[in-house]
Amino acid sequence: MGQLIDLLKRQAFFIVCGLGALVGIALMLTGMRFMPKVMEQMRKVEGTYRNITGLQAVSLGKIEAVQERIDAVLEDHKKILERARTMYGYEPLVPAALPNGDSIARNAFRDRYTEGMDALIKSLNYGGPAAKQDVDRWKDRIAEEQAQLKQFGAGGSGPPVFPGPEVTAAGVLTKAGIQKNAEARANVSAAQRIVMYARHFNDGRPEDPGSLDFARSMRGAGSSGAPEPWDVWHAQYNYWIQKDVVEAIVALNKAAADELRKNGKHPWVENLPVKDLISIRVTTGHIPAEGEAVYGSKLGGEGPALPPATPATVFTQHGATAAYDVVQFTIKAVMDERDIPKLVERLTKDRFHTLLRAAYEAVPPNLGMVGKIYGSGPVVSVILDFELPLLGPVFRRWMPAKVLEEYGITCRPEDECKPDEEG
């Protein structure tokens, strides 16, 4: 028995192989009956394999084509952003102050902002109507002229004499009437020395910043307390926008003035397009994604006009998104009705400013030449509402941390945020 067991152990491999062969033969003989079904299944598998292989080739080609389109879109996106930066043309007044500059940089920003706003208002070559002391001087002047007329007569070496009635049938002062009216002469003289009317931000109270929208947080240049980063950001885009508006007004009036000089005429308020800048007002904050509708500012008068500050009122319905932020601004001015399209064109051509509303009404004629004198043309009081989108990749690099937090912005340029991302 022991010898048999040893034999079995020694021949185990061959025995197993033999048994396997027998089993295989048995299975082969048994499976012959099912071979047609097996072949059919094999053909199905082969067809499926070929289909998968073909689909794989098509999918790879499509994937490559889609990737090429994606690459092209990304390249176009990059070019658009580069072009956008050029078209905006904005740079911070003090680069070190944004986004999160220290107190020294923020104090420097306040000083630079004040200087910049002062330069903007002065570039308008502006002035106001005659003051009381001006009227008093003309009273003395008129008294002297009357004395000379009595002494030398109308044909002597005294002042010129304008014949005819002092007022027209419509009640308008004529040259003869103006000559003897101290208030009218003072106001005509004041108007002829300037290009347009405006008020400096230092001429009124802090809550009434004049024609330009001087940021209240920037008051007190030279003081020890630095403005907050939040205030620096809002004052910065406040300046950018007003600079665009003022430059457009200056260019429009200059073009008209140059043409008048060619024809031997003196340019002044009466014959220039923009005659009075009542106000520019910029939203202190980004426009939210949603909001309630509000009524637009009323026409006429000397009060400032405010932007709607909501997307619900304007036709674009634009508010903050993941891709961009929005601010609004409003211009209120007195100007020649025929030149409104020219001003709008200067503000929107090659710019991102979008006109939201244009409303105007006629300004009554100044029969007595008292106060502001706008001339005899078709003069209107106009309100123009605009919006400006601030593309995220261009502007969010300058937004302080508190601004990003307040507006719920989590997408910054360095994160390579896509327009459809939330944040």
pLDDT of residue 380: 97
Q: What is the rounded distance in angstroms from the CA atom of residue 310 to the CA atom of residue 296?
A: 11
Task: Look at the alpha carbons of 109, 113, 116, 122 in this order and tell me if their dihedral is positive or negative.
Answer: negative
Kindly tell me if the per-residue pLDDT of 30 is higher than 60.
Answer: no
pLDDT of residue 416: 45
Tokens 């067809």 locate to 47
Examine residue 186 and state whether it is found in any structural domain, yes or no: no
pLDDT of residue 9: 46
Cis peptide before 393 (omega within 30 of 0): no
Are 58 and 204 members of one domain? no
Per residue in 274-290, pLDDT (tens digit) is: 999 999 999 999 999 99
Q: Which two tokens stand for residue 394?
A: 């261009």
Are 261 and 346 members of one domain? yes
Examine residue 386 and state whether it is found in any structural domain, yes or no: yes
Examine residue 172 and state whether it is found in any structural domain, yes or no: no
Are 110 and 9 members of one domain? no
Q: What is the rounded distance in angstroms from the CA atom of residue 286 to the CA atom of residue 318?
A: 11
Are 335 and 393 members of one domain? yes
Query: In which domain, by residue range, is 122 found?
Result: 89-128+194-415
Per residue in 324-361, pLDDT (tens digit) is: 999 999 999 999 999 999 999 999 999 999 999 999 99
What mean pLDDT is reported for the chain?
A: 83
pLDDT of residue 369: 85
- Give the β-pairing of 196-197 and 379-391: unpaired
Confidence of residue 233 (pLDDT cuts 50, 70, 90): very high
pLDDT of residue 55: 54
Examine residue 297 and state whether it is found in any structural domain, yes or no: yes
**Per mean pLDDT, which range of 203-212, 264-273, 360-369 is the poorest?**
203-212
Q: Please compute the mean of the pLDDT values over residues 398-405 and round it to a whole number.
A: 95
**Per mean pLDDT, which range of 34-43, 171-180, 253-262 is the poorest?**
34-43
Are 17 and 100 members of one domain? no
**Per mean pLDDT, which range of 13-27, 105-119, 169-183, 207-221 is the poorest?**
13-27
Are 221 and 326 members of one domain? yes
Are 109 and 53 members of one domain? no
Task: Look at the alpha carbons of 255, 363, 372, 118 in this order and tell me if their dihedral is positive or negative.
Answer: negative
Q: What is the rounded distance in angstroms from the CA atom of residue 307 to the CA atom of residue 355?
A: 12
**Per mean pLDDT, which range of 155-164, 265-274, 292-301 is the poorest?**
155-164
- Give the β-pairing of 354-362 and 324-336: unpaired
Contacts of 357 (CB under 8 A, 6+ apart): 296, 314, 383, 384, 385
| Total structural domains within the chain | 2
pLDDT of residue 47: 64
Are 25 and 60 members of one domain? yes
pLDDT of residue 10: 47
Q: What is the rounded distance in angstroms from the CA atom of residue 181 to the CA atom of residue 188?
A: 11
Q: What is the rounded distance in angstroms from the CA atom of residue 226 to the CA atom of residue 217?
A: 10
Per residue in 72-104, pLDDT (tens digit) is: 877 777 788 788 888 899 999 999 999 999 999
Q: What is the rounded distance in angstroms from the CA atom of residue 194 to the CA atom of residue 253?
A: 11
pLDDT of residue 158: 65
Closest CA to 335 of 265, 200, 245: 245
Task: Look at the alpha carbons of 188, 192, 193, 195 in this order and tell me if their dihedral is positive or negative.
Answer: positive
Q: What is the rounded distance in angstroms from the CA atom of residue 150 to the CA atom of residue 167?
A: 23
DSSP 221: T
pTM for the predicted model, two decimal places: 0.79
Kindly tell me if the per-residue pLDDT of 171 is higher than 80.
Answer: no
Per residue in 129-162, pLDDT (tens digit) is: 999 999 999 989 888 877 877 777 666 666 777 7
**Per mean pLDDT, which range of 294-298, 302-306, 369-373 is the poorest?**
294-298
pLDDT of residue 23: 38
CB 171 within 8 A of CB 367: yes
- Give the β-pairing of 274-282 and 126-127: unpaired
Are 399 and 325 members of one domain? yes
Q: Please compute the mean of the pLDDT values over residues 288-296 and round it to a whole number.
A: 86
Kindly tell me if the per-residue pLDDT of 412 is higher than 60.
Answer: yes
Are 38 and 94 members of one domain? no
Euclidean distance between the first and the last CA atom of the chain, given in angstroms as a whole number: 86
Kindly tell me if the per-residue pLDDT of 420 is higher than 60.
Answer: no
Examine residue 314 and state whether it is found in any structural domain, yes or no: yes
Examine residue 110 and state whether it is found in any structural domain, yes or no: yes
pLDDT of residue 415: 47
pLDDT of residue 282: 97
Q: What percent of the chain has pLDDT over 90?
A: 56
Q: Which two tokens stand for residue 7?
A: 């034999």
> Which residue pairs, CB below 8 angstroms and at least 24 apart, start in 259-263?
none
Closest CA to 278 of 124, 135, 131: 124
Task: Look at the alpha carbons of 266, 268, 274, 280 in this order and tell me if their dihedral is positive or negative.
Answer: positive
Are 309 and 368 members of one domain? yes
Examine residue 177 and state whether it is found in any structural domain, yes or no: no
Are 107 and 44 members of one domain? no
Examine residue 143 and state whether it is found in any structural domain, yes or no: no
Q: Which two tokens stand for residue 171?
A: 């009640």
Longest dimension (CA), the chain: 168
Confidence of residue 42 (pLDDT cuts 50, 70, 90): low
Where does residue 63 fall: left (phi above 0), alpha (psi -120 to 50 degrees), or beta otherwise?
alpha
Kindly tell me if the per-residue pLDDT of 175 is higher than 60.
Answer: yes
Closest CA to 242 of 290, 295, 198: 198
pLDDT of residue 135: 92
**In 284-339, which residue ranges form alpha helices assigned H by DSSP?**
none
